[in-house]
């Protein structure tokens, strides 16, 4: 058949490539915000990528890191913010107050910064007992002292009954980045080693146990903790840490997927090397969840050059928060942007980013 | 957990895998019926350990995925009504109806709650006497007794504000339907262990004899699956077709009499459509007339909602192993994990979703695409 | 763990390797404290027979250690356990 002269010639040299394709319509599936947009998975990523980043467009945001590193008056500062809407407000091992401090402290620490000052904004619902707010404020103070940061400024707003969930908190923070430190996801390269600083899935299961009305024979408490001291110890071992990330919402799987995509490397995990407490494994089996997707609040993932791995691992293990640290995998050239795991039986499984929140399976 | 680690032991798994390799001399295609078994297979990559030519066809055993579009549309309609608390198992929320899902209803102000157990929904009904509490009762014979208990209790305790939206499905009619399809490639079944824990095994010998297929009642841990496969290929190699119980620790021949008695009281069998597959005669349960006042379809007058399923989707053929996912015209274009048309794309372990994910792992060269594709549905695993 | 009645319904606490959950025992009226059970969505649906579990594991351990072919192992184990074949198995159909 002759080509129709009215149509432009079709390009034969370039087959369609869907890999780099981004949807022209932001948030194609939902016209309204759904819970999954806050779940840390694909929906969260699309909201940021398609709606926020274009609106704010500047080069600092394009790294999509937990905290931005800016230069101000000659100093390299890490700058970050995080909001906390957890239910229940108090859970085994901590409260929303502990999370509000440690969450932002950890976001700063993941840029290799020493966190210094925090702001704290409260959104309180009419009718919340003062004693509850008091307990939370006390937890904030104690957590700040433990992390070695100062809460330097704050704000309080009250909303009508039914317009909030008791207490919401936002914190922002700044910290100084050491000379010679360059930690960001783009620095992960094939051959790098992936280290986790301890047992995974503990925080999410502690929260879930309250929500689902399950209890534990042995106590499972949140691992909520400030990681800046641990990062300091690691930087003393080597300044050349490539990537740090605290695997909070969406767990280890989501964090590693983000790093793999940003850096354009593949990640290969070894399932039997993953440090998972037996109780967490059992609770996950029972609730139909995968520990790789369960939130952590006091653990970090470190990606380092293979020659530095032993030294960094030793430094983590010597720290009180890192006794159970382990090497769990490596970055590879194959399947860039994807995370796979070698199962205990020697097979390979893709560890994908969840679309929204992880949901319990019934079958 | 007791007998969880023991039945996941890699050394014993290796022995079973070796024995399967020693037994198999020909290619065989078998279907694991239950979604829980599919999950174990992909979670541990068991299909990758099998001899070349031994193919696991993932069956229609994910209750969430096979729930017909029409019932989901009814659920969405009920959940969006004011004064209703709509309770559901978690993974049902992400399954789209016609253009919407339960997440969307929730975001628009609907009171949609995830429960772990049907009894939680009953408790919500007790605690909220001024609200209509509806539980989305889906699932196979395993989930049916717990769901039946809610209606039984609601009637006994006098909870007029509770009702059940029922879309229960049964395994044996599905096995019969798969075997009756003219191009069926399934040569054996791993029957769903926990379904048999409830129902026993009396329905299966007739199926095995009529369709000349081995049926092995199989559990859910990795060693259970491997043992089920081993007993299945042993039968196939010998030309036998009988019912075997490879899950004796949890399955008795007679099942659970108390649960069966409750099922007979609360439910009656009915024809049921399966998403992407179509109507299977007598394959479902609905509330019996004794409990009709607790039937959400009657209470909320959604019985006349009728939804046509997509005619493009060929998941029925995929499920039966007749075509590979990429041979469906809608694959990857109209039908993706984000916008699934059929059961096999809804579940992250469904053949189409797994194949979709695998394409990203290793994009085959165009000329070898179909060869690689046929391997893909065997080799791919995904959890997410 | 413990068994009690709630609204005349048999309930109990079940320990899933350290995870403790309230479970409905109505479908296993004679389940005793100390026994293992299969639980699905908050309901105990079948008691777990420890002897069968042990037999299965022992059978897998013996694989490859004996010379007979596998199918006979099942037979040997079944005979040793003195268990009866389920109705409608190979005797009737072979």
pLDDT digits (tens, 9 = 90+) for B133-184: 999 999 999 999 999 999 999 999 999 999 999 999 999 999 999 899 888 8
Which chains would you list as touching C if contact means 3+ CB atom pairs under 8 Å? A, B
Which of A301-305, B313-317, B360-364 comes out lowest in average pLDDT?
A: B360-364
Flag whether pLDDT at A120 surpasses 80.
yes
Which chains would you list as touching B if contact means 3+ CB atom pairs under 8 Å? A, C
Flag whether pLDDT at A257 surpasses 90.
yes
Interface contact flag, A216 C19, Cβ < 8 Å: yes
Flag whether pLDDT at A321 surpasses 90.
yes
Q: What is the pLDDT of residues B35-55, one digit of tens each?
A: 889 888 888 889 899 999 999
Q: For B18-22, which contacts have Cβ atoms below 8 Å and span 24 or more sequence positions?
A: B18/C63, B18/C64, B19/B230, B19/C63, B19/C64, B19/C70, B20/B50, B20/B51, B20/B54, B20/B226, B20/B229, B20/B230, B20/B233, B21/B51, B22/C70
CA closest to B156 among chain C residues: C7
The domains located in chain A, with CATH, are 66-177 (3.30.1330.10), 185-350 (3.90.650.10)
Flag whether pLDDT at C20 surpasses 80.
yes
Which of A9-23, A185-199, B59-73, B279-293 comes out lowest in average pLDDT?
A: A9-23
Flag whether pLDDT at A363 surpasses 70.
no
The position carrying tokens 């394709």 is A21
Q: Return the pLDDT at A303.
A: 98
Interface contact flag, C41 A216, Cβ < 8 Å: no
On whether the CB atoms of residues A171 and A101 are closer than 8 A, the answer is yes
User: Cα distance from C72 to chain B (closest Cα, Å)?
Assistant: 11
Q: Return the pLDDT at C65.
A: 64
Q: Return the pLDDT at B218.
A: 97
User: Cα distance from C15 to chain B (closest Cα, Å)?
Assistant: 8
Q: Which residues of A touch C15 (CB under 8 A)?
A: 217
Q: Which residues pair with A174 in a beta bridge?
A: A79, A117
CA closest to C17 among chain A residues: A282
C86 touches chain A (CB under 8 A): no
Interface contact flag, C93 B205, Cβ < 8 Å: yes
Task: Give the residue-averaged pLDDT of B345-354.
Answer: 75
Q: Which residues of A touch C16 (CB under 8 A)?
A: 282-283, 285-286
Q: Please give the mean pLDDT across all residues of chain A.
A: 86
Flag whether pLDDT at A99 surpasses 90.
yes
Q: Return the pLDDT at B5.
A: 81
The domains located in chain C, with CATH, are 2-49 (2.30.30.140)
Q: Return the pLDDT at A362.
A: 56
Q: For B95-99, which contacts have Cβ atoms below 8 Å and span 24 or more sequence positions?
A: B95/B64, B95/B65, B95/B67, B95/B346, B96/B72, B96/B339, B96/B340, B97/B69, B97/B72, B97/B73, B97/B307, B98/B69, B98/B73, B98/B307
On whether the CB atoms of residues A290 and A95 are closer than 8 A, the answer is no
**A170 or A33, greater pLDDT:** A170
Flag whether pLDDT at B333 surpasses 90.
no
Q: What is the ipTM of this complex?
A: 0.85
C2 touches chain A (CB under 8 A): no
User: Cα distance from B241 to chain C (closest Cα, Å)?
Assistant: 8
Please tell me the pTM assigned to this model.
0.83
pLDDT-derived band at A35, boundaries 50, 70, 90: confident
Q: What is the pLDDT of residues A211-229, one digit of tens each?
A: 776 676 666 889 999 999 9
Flag whether pLDDT at A3 surpasses 80.
no
**B372 or A330, greater pLDDT:** A330
Q: Return the pLDDT at B197.
A: 97
CA closest to C51 among chain B residues: B249
Q: What is the pLDDT of residues B207-262, one digit of tens each?
A: 999 999 999 999 999 999 999 999 999 999 999 999 999 999 999 999 999 999 99
User: Cα distance from A120 to chain B (closest Cα, Å)?
Assistant: 28
Task: Give the residue-averaged pLDDT of A323-338.
Answer: 96
Q: Return the pLDDT at A265.
A: 97
């Amino acid at each position: 058949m002759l080509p129709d002269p009215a149509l432009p010639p079709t390009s034969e040299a370039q087959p369609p490539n869907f890999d780099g394709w981004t949807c022209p319509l932001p948030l194609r599936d939902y016209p309204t915000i759904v819970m999954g947009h806050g779940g840390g998975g694909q929906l969260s990523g699309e909201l940021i990528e398609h709606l926020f980043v274009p609106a704010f467009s500047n080069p600092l945001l394009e790294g999509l890191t937990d905290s931005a590193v800016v230069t101000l008056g000659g100093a390299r500062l890490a700058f970050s913010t995080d909001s906390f809407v957890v239910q229940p407000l108090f859970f085994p091992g901590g409260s929303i107050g502990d999370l509000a401090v440690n969450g932002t402290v950890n976001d700063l620490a993941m840029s290799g910064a020493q966190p210094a000052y925090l702001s704290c904004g409260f959104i309180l619902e009419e009718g919340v007992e003062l004693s509850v707010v008091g307990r939370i404020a006390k937890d904030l103070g104690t957590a700040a002292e433990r992390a070695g940061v100062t809460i330097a400024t704050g704000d309080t707003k009250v909303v009508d009954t039914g317009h909030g969930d008791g207490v919401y908190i936002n914190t922002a923070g700044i910290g100084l980045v050491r000379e010679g430190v360059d930690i960001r996801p783009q620095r992960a390269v094939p051959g790098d080693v992936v280290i986790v600083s301890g047992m995974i899935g503990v925080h999410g299961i502690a929260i879930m146990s309250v929500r689902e009305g399950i209890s534990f024979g042995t106590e499972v408490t949140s691992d909520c903790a400030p990681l800046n001291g641990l990062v300091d110890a690691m930087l003393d071992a080597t300044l050349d840490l490539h990537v740090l990330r605290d695997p909070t919402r969406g767990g280890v799987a989501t964090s590693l997927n983000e790093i793999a995509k940003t850096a354009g490397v593949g990640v290969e995990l070894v399932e039997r090397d993953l440090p998972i407490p037996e109780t967490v494994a059992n609770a996950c089996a029972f609730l139909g969840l995968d520990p790789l997707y369960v939130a952590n609040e006091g653990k970090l993932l470190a990606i380092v050059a293979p020659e530095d791995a032993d030294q960094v691992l030793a430094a983590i293990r010597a720290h009180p928060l890192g006794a159970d640290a382990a090497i769990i995998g490596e970055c590879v050239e194959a399947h860039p942007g994807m995370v796979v795991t070698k199962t205990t039986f020697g097979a390979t499984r893709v560890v994908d980013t969840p679309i929204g929140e992880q949901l319990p399976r019934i079958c | 957990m007791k007998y969880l680690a023991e039945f996941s032991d890699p050394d014993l798994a290796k022995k079973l895998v070796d024995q399967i390799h020693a037994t198999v001399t020909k290619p065989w295609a078998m279907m694991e019926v239950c979604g829980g078994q599919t999950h174990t297979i992909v979670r541990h990559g068991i299909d990758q350990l099998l001899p070349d030519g031994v193919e696991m066809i993932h069956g229609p055993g994910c209750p969430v995925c096979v729930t017909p579009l029409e019932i989901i549309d009814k659920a969405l309609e009920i959940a969006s009504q004011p004064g209703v608390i709509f309770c559901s198992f978690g993974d049902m929320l992400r399954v789209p109806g016609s253009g919407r899902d339960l997440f969307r209803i929730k975001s628009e102000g609907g009171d949609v709650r995830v429960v772990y157990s049907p009894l939680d929904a009953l408790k919500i009904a007790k605690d909220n006497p001024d609200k209509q509490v509806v539980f989305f009762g889906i699932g196979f014979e395993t989930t049916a007794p717990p769901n039946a208990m809610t209606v039984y209790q609601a009637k006994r305790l006098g909870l007029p504000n509770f009702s059940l939206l029922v879309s229960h499905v049964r395994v044996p009619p599905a096995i019969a339907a798969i075997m009756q399809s003219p191009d069926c490639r399934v040569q054996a079944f791993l029957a769903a262990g926990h379904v048999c824990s409830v129902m026993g095994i009396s329905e299966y010998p007739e199926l095995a004899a009529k369709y000349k297929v081995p049926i092995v009642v199989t559990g859910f841990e990795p060693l259970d699956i491997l043992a089920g496969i081993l007993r299945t290929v042993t039968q196939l190699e010998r030309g036998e077709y009988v019912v075997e119980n490879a899950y004796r620790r949890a399955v008795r021949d007679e099942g659970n009499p108390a649960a069966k008695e409750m099922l007979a009281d609360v439910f009656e069998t009915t024809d049921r459509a399966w998403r992407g597959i179509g109507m299977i005669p007598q394959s479902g349960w609905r509330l019996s007339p004794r409990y009709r006042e607790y039937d959400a379809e009657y209470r909320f007058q959604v019985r006349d909602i009728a939804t046509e399923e997509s005619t493009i989707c060929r998941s029925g053929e995929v499920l039966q192993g007749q075509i590979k996912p990429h041979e469906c015209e809608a694959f990857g274009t109209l039908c993706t994990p984000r916008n699934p048309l059929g059961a096999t794309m809804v579940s992250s372990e469904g053949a189409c979703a797994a194949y979709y994910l695998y394409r990203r792992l290793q994009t085959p060269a165009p000329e070898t695409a179909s060869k690689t594709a046929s391997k893909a549905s065997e080799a791919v695993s995904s959890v997410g | 763990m413990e068994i009690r009645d709630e609204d005349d319904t048999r309930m109990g606490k079940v320990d899933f390797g350290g995870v403790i959950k309230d479970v409905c025992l109505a479908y296993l009226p004679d389940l005793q404290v100390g026994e293992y059970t299969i639980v699905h969505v908050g309901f105990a649906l079948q008691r777990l027979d420890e002897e069968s579990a042990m037999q299965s594991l022992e059978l897998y351990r013996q694989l490859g250690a004996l010379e007979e072919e596998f199918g006979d192992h099942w037979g040997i184990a079944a005979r040793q356990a003195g268990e009866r074949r389920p109705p409608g198995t190979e005797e009737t159909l072979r």
